[in-house]
Chains A and B, each alone.
Chain A
Amino acid sequence: MLESKNISQSIRGKIVRKAFECGESSHLGGALSMVDILCVLYQSVLKYDVKDFQSEDRDIFILSKGHCVLGWYAALNEFGLMTDPVFDTFQTNGSDLIAHPVKNLSLGIESSNGSLGQGLSFGLGIALGIKKKAQNRNVYVLMGDGECNEGAVWEATATASEIGLSNLVAIVDVNNFRNDGLNLTYQNNKSLPAIWSAFGWNVIEVDGHSHDALNVAFRAAKNENGGPSVIIAHTVKGCGVSFMESNNEWHHNRITSNVYDKILAEWGRNV
């Protein structure tokens, strides 16, 4: 069994390899920034059955920042939830795996995303349904800080706290960039935790690359009975590849063979 951090590194390896192999531009920055969050989620937080994606007691994961889906597919592959042949179809014509999640329950993909700001309301509805059916399941919605620019996000945050949904956990991957550059909204994200708090959410701020801190945060979120929790995870966009880190050129870009060689050289091994 790999050490937790090594699993993250393996996922990053799968991201850059697949981005290179598909020959198309991919949303690399945001895929790389959320890797440690996904790693901890799939390693020690989410309830799932590798053999039955539709098991009745599974937790629900929704990637609301849908454009970063390559990072999620890589994680699913790493944790045995997506076969290599399926993963290999990423961004090939006619594939189920394109640059945004497409609902596919047989592949364990619960939700279609790509239009930002919609995952939280949908997750809220599922969490409410779970509660009404008196099931013991949680819903995790992974969002971006740029995504929080969308007004619809705040419609959902308001309702979730109003009805006190303690089985709903949002994670905001705060990598501080959006498509056009730095995310200047909410005082450059500085007031983001206070805003979520003002909406009645339990706010947990963490280093989004520290597995220990993320583990603690997810446990704290689960133990909250008073209402929904948000984990504000501070991350580095493009984390893991030196020249992609906080360099928005890699928000959406193509990994050529030169770039790929450069990454391999930096990592000192094959991926």
Chain B
Amino acid sequence: MFNIDKKLARGWSRMGPRAVYGQILFELAKTNPNLMTLSADLGRSSGLDRLSKEFPDQFLNVGIAEQNLIGISSGLARMGFDVFASTFAPFASLRAGEQVRMNMGYMQEPVRLVGLASGFALGFLGNSHYGLEDVAVMRSIPGITVISPADCVELYKCIVASLSYPGPIYIRLTGGVNMPVVYDADYEFDILKADVLYPISDITVVSAGATLGFAKRAIDELRGEGADIGLVNVHTIKPIDKDFIYNLGSVCKTVVVFEEHTIIGGLGAAIIDALDAANIRSTQVIRCGVNDEYPKAGDYDYVLHTLGLDSMGIKNKLCEFL
């Protein structure tokens, strides 16, 4: 379908994950009549314009009705369709949270629910539209896999992998246009395996989503200055890769987690939970994200900067441990 190379990665980065999501689904729809895409009046914001025009039978706008979105998507999934449903992250996880719980959790209907523009990607639209709690909510619902792709190439790998993955999935899109590129060549993507970008060492950064790209920029600079810092992409926040957790626990003294999410119940909390479940007490976890507050809104870069989640903030934070 797509030949993954530097050019594609750069082009997709310019488009941003939402437009790329729509483009990927459009390509899939060409050969998969079983594919159904749904949205709660955010088809255009999901990049699904072209798909909805050229394959109208494979697209449904259920109206501004997220609860309905989950119910209908689940019924279609029950009927054997490959269902992708998309809306902004807080609406997917909170507005329709109980529908997600009943249909995707309790009944295990294999919907791929896509939380658009999570984190602070919606900038000036503010906290009503930010995805600050979606990971915590989704992670707490039994039997839902939670994936946060690092960039558009990983989003592609994730969507393709999801088609042969059993059970419901929440796919969290973060980052906007010109998001950092992490992957610019084809690579092995396994939903159940964390991807070690720089070997786990005394100090290791764990991240996911767009934040991983910002962290990688910071770490590239620090490594260039001679610092030994590991970096792991925990794209799948649930179920977490247990082998990775054991490796982390046996090598790493301090793991620093960066996430565009409240630190309550997010990726950092997932790492703490997993270390605890593995009875590993020797690894310290530092969580960097949103501290139980609604941050002052502004453009994406502004919010990242004020929270110390841009490359500069991440670098400064890491220097505390060097």
Question: Which residues of A pack against B, CB within 8 Å?
Answer: 102-103, 110-115, 117-118, 120-130, 132-133, 151-152, 155-156, 158-159, 162-163
Contact = CB atoms under 8 A, between A and B. Distances in A.
Nearest to A114: B102
Interface of B: 36, 57, 60, 62-63, 65, 67-68, 70-81, 98-99, 102-103, 106-107
Given A115-B102, A152-B67, A155-B67, 15 more contacts: A102-B106, A112-B106, A114-B102, A124-B75, A125-B76, A126-B79, A132-B81, A151-B67, A152-B65, A152-B71, A155-B65, A156-B72, A158-B63, A159-B62, A159-B63
Contact of A159 (B72, B76, B78, B81): B72
Nearest to A127: B75
10 contacts: A103-B106, A115-B98, A121-B67, A121-B70, A121-B72, A124-B68, A124-B75, A129-B79, A155-B67, A159-B65
A53 B23 CA distance: 40
B72 A125 contact: yes
A120 B99 CA distance: 12
A247 B62 CA distance: 39
A33 to B, nearest CB: 24
Contacts of B72: 121-122, 124-125, 128, 156, 159
A246 B103 CA distance: 33
B75 A126 contact: yes
B60 A163 contact: yes
A259 B71 CA distance: 40
Contacts of A158: 63, 65
Nearest to A129: B79
A191 to B, nearest CB: 22
Contacts of B107: 103, 111-112
Contacts, number: 93
Contacts of A128: 60, 72, 75-76, 79
B80 to A, nearest CB: 7
A216 to B, nearest CB: 28
State the 9 A-B residue pairs at the shortest beta-carbon distance, nearest first: A125-B75, A121-B71, A129-B79, A155-B65, A155-B68, A125-B72, A126-B75, A152-B67, A122-B71
A158 B65 CA distance: 10
B63 A155 contact: yes
Contacts of B67: 117-118, 121, 151-152, 155
A103 B107 CA distance: 6
A127 B157 CA distance: 32
Most buried by B among A111, A115, A122, A125: A125
A133 B72 CA distance: 15
Most buried by B among A117, A128, A133, A155: A155
Contacts of B63: 155, 158-159, 162
Contact of A129 (B70, B76, B102): B76
Nearest to B64: A155
Contact of B78 (A126, A132, A163): A126
A118 B71 contact: yes
A98 to B, nearest CB: 12
B67 to A, nearest CB: 4
Contacts of B70: 121
A67 to B, nearest CB: 14
A37 to B, nearest CB: 22
B62 A129 contact: no
B43 to A, nearest CB: 14
A111 to B, nearest CB: 7
A125 B78 contact: yes
B80 A122 contact: no
Given A121-B99, A122-B103, A158-B63, A130 B79 contact: yes
Contacts of A132: 36, 57, 79, 81
B79 A156 contact: no
Contacts of A114: 102
Contacts of B68: 121, 124, 152, 155-156, 159
Contacts of A121: 67-68, 70-72, 74-75, 99
A162 B77 CA distance: 21
A155 B67 CA distance: 8
Contacts of B71: 118, 120-122, 124-125, 152, 156
Contact of B80 (A102, A103, A127, A129): A129
